[in-house]
Amino acid sequence: MLFRDATLADGRVRDVRIDGESIVDVGTGLDDDGETIDADGKRLLPGMIDAHVHFRQPGFPHKETWLTGSKSAAAGGVTTVFDQPNTEPPTVDAAGYERKAELASASLVDYAINGGVTDDWAPEELLEKPIGALGEVFLADSTGEMGIGTGRYEEAVKRAHDAGVPITVHAEDAALFDESVIDRTDPDAWSAYRTAAAEIEAIRHACRVAADLGARVHIAHTSTPEGVEATSEAGMTCEVTPHHLFLSRADLEELGTFGRMNPPLRSEDRRESMLRLLADGDIDIVATDHAPHTRTEKDAGIWDAPSGVPGVETALPLLLEEARNGRLGYDRIRDVTAANVADIFGLEHGGRIEAGNRADLVLVDPDASVPIRGEDLHSKCEWTPFEGRRGVFPELTTVRGCVVFRDGEFADVAGRNVRR
């Protein structure tokens, strides 16, 4: 396969030739005996590596399955996902890992399976499995009630570090939640309850423990500029979600409980600061925290609705819309969705369009901006918090050189575990 005259993230116009699963040449005037795709005027990017999804199996297939979640990923230009451990059963031992691995074989895109930590985890057997990362390690309860204390967190960091396994942390300190708001019933009550201070202090603590142990941690879904600063000062890495970049507490009147997630939406000032930090290079990666629930489940009171929103299909399109409007560079999008993710999680031959790398690619028309509609997306939950916003969706997505999505159609191609 040959992509002819594609514009890369850095603005160069190049031909990109694929042979088997790999990119074999990037240059000009290249020839190929196979299919040639006219990419003139279009952007060719490395596929997004989403380091944070919840595909809900085993345990909750009514919310999402590996098939529906991976279709949503492929249609959004995501070629690899890291699935989180808070399923039922949780992925905290060898049996839990093998059960999830069996289900994950239905994925259209490549994947990694993360291991979790609870009071019942079995580190000796879990860390012998090819897990994507240990975590997200929850420092406060979220969906799945996997919050742990400081002692268990220290043990988890040490064991994972000694095993050479990346560590991701959900950093919130429940002791700093604001109990004074529990009688409120408005949608903003959740943001008022799970305070910004609860995240900021938990990040500082998580990073301090890791530094004392000579380890590195990756902070999941950082929602505050102060949290980004704390992570950077400690020499650790962090991610930001699309909902913390493009939504704020100002949107909660319209979103209602469909805007409840952990950590919650922050002020508009903090949201603007996070987008600026992303553009300036101070945030390492974008990850979606794709966490679907059904409409019926979300249509409840603010204290009863589950936390989480879908996002794997809309993350890259939202970022590409920012590029279309001149607010974000394509090279920055490449870095935060692919190159930096590959570096942080040790995915060799991934995240960049270079000879010898995996042919995980996304082709987009940079001017093809459309309104985002939940009914057009492929997640089983069939809704989005970004309803009506605009995005630039891929025309074509390849995983290891195989076309998995093209012009609204999916191929019958199985993803692989990137850790095997």
The pLDDT tens digits for 79-126 are: 999 999 999 999 999 999 999 999 999 999 999 999 999 888 999 999
Mean pLDDT of 338-351: 97
Identify the pLDDT of residue 32. 86
Residue 255 in domain: yes
Q: Does 120 show up as a binding residue in the annotation?
A: no
pLDDT band at 142 (very low <50, low <70, confident <90, very high): low
Q: Does 327 show up as a binding residue in the annotation?
A: no
Given a cut of 60, whether residue 146 has pLDDT beyond it is no
Residue 26 in domain: no
Q: Does 86 show up as a binding residue in the annotation?
A: yes
Residue 416 in domain: no
Helix axis angle, 196-212 to 150-163, nearest 10° = 50
Q: Does 325 show up as a binding residue in the annotation?
A: no
User: pTM above 0.85?
Assistant: yes
Identify the pLDDT of residue 147. 67
Which of 284, 289, 335, 360 is labelled catalytic?
289
Q: What CATH number did the domain enclosing 204 receive? A: 3.20.20.140
Residue 14 in domain: no
Looking at the chain, the whole-number percentage of residues with pLDDT higher than 90 is: 93
Alpha helices in 240-324 (DSSP H): 242-246, 252-255, 268-280, 295-298, 315-324
Structure tokens at 370: 């459309």
Q: Which amino acid is at 412?
A: D
- Whether 289 sits among the annotated catalytic residues: the reply is yes
Q: Does 221 show up as a binding residue in the annotation?
A: yes
Residue 76 in domain: yes
**Per-residue buried b or exposed e for 99-113, using 16+ beta carbons within 10 Å of the residue's own CB:** bbbebbebbbbbbbb
For the chain, the domain total comes to: 1
Mean pLDDT of 139-167: 82
Given a cut of 90, whether residue 138 has pLDDT beyond it is no
Residue 357 in domain: no
Note whether 330 and 12 are within 8 A (CB).
no
Residue 16 in domain: no
Residue 6 in domain: no
Segments forming the whole domain that contains residue 264? 47-349+367-391
- C-alpha to C-alpha distance for 258 and 256, rounded to whole angstroms: 5
Q: Does 349 show up as a binding residue in the annotation?
A: no
Given a cut of 80, whether residue 368 has pLDDT beyond it is yes
